[in-house]
Amino acid sequence: MSEPRIVIRKAQEEDCESLLELIKELAIFEKAPQEVSVTLEHFKASGFSSNPVWWALVACVIDPETQEEKIIGMALYYIRYSTWKGQRMYLEDIIVTEAWRSKGIGRMLMSQLIFEAKQKNLPAIMWQVLDWNTEAIKFYKRYNAVFDDEWLNVTLHINS
């Protein structure tokens, strides 16, 4: 029996439901499931309108028998601007569903993300990681990522 094949590809609009499921899984892992309030409609429009604000790569497992694919991971990013440094890729989320972790999927996503940044002539990728997420921190250290202990996260909620 053949092994399932893993492919990394750009996300398509029809992937959005699966991406939201991964986002909800991540929120549960990060102990904040109640924080996910984005609707499927808003999520789709934000990524697939004429002016998208995010892009994503998806990791899919291809069933060797049926050739059906199932999304098992994603890396969602956008372009941010630094007045000091110019454009940077901002990695909002990278997640591999629990059953597929520790199988090299995260490395595959990160490699493709680095390739995307190079293709877009972006000199850096930035992201956040929770200080208690030791497995993610170990993963990022393999890439010689620089951790910053000086800056604090700040959010200002605007009521409509």
Q: Which domains does the chain have, with CATH numbers?
A: 5-141 (3.40.630.30)
pLDDT at 1 over 70: no
Q: For residue 160, what pLDDT band results from cuts at 50, 70 and 90?
A: low
Higher pLDDT, 17 or 153: 17
pLDDT at 126 over 90: yes
Please tell me the distance from the alpha carbon of residue 96 to that of residue 26, in angstroms, as a whole number: 9
Q: Is residue 80 within 8 Å of 91, Cβ to Cβ?
A: no
The DSSP string of 89-114 is: EEEEEEEE-GGGTTSSHHHHHHHHHH
Please tell me the distance from the alpha carbon of residue 140 to that of residue 27, in angstroms, as a whole number: 19
pLDDT at 68 over 90: yes
Dihedral-angle region of residue 86 (phi above 0 means left; psi in -120 to 50 means alpha; beta otherwise): left
Residues of the chain with pLDDT > 70: what percent? 99
Of the candidates 78, 81, 90, 140, the residue annotated as catalytic is: 140
pLDDT at 156 over 90: no
Q: How far is CA 4 from the centre of its chain?
A: 22
Q: What is the pTM assigned to this prediction?
A: 0.93
Question: Taken in order 107, 112, 116, 118, is the CA torsion positive or negative?
Answer: positive
Residue 140 annotated as catalytic: yes
* Rounded average pLDDT over 84-106: 96
Query: What pLDDT sits at residue 101?
Result: 95
Please tell me the distance from the alpha carbon of residue 157 to that of residue 53, in angstroms, as a whole number: 20
* Rounded average pLDDT over 81-110: 96
Q: Is residue 77 within 8 Å of 113, Cβ to Cβ?
A: yes
- 4-61 residue pLDDT tens: 899 999 999 999 999 999 999 999 999 999 999 999 999 999 999 999 999 999 999 9
For residue 129, how many other CB atoms are within 10 A of its CB? 15
**Nearest C-alpha neighbor of 79 from the set 141, 134, 123, 19:** 123
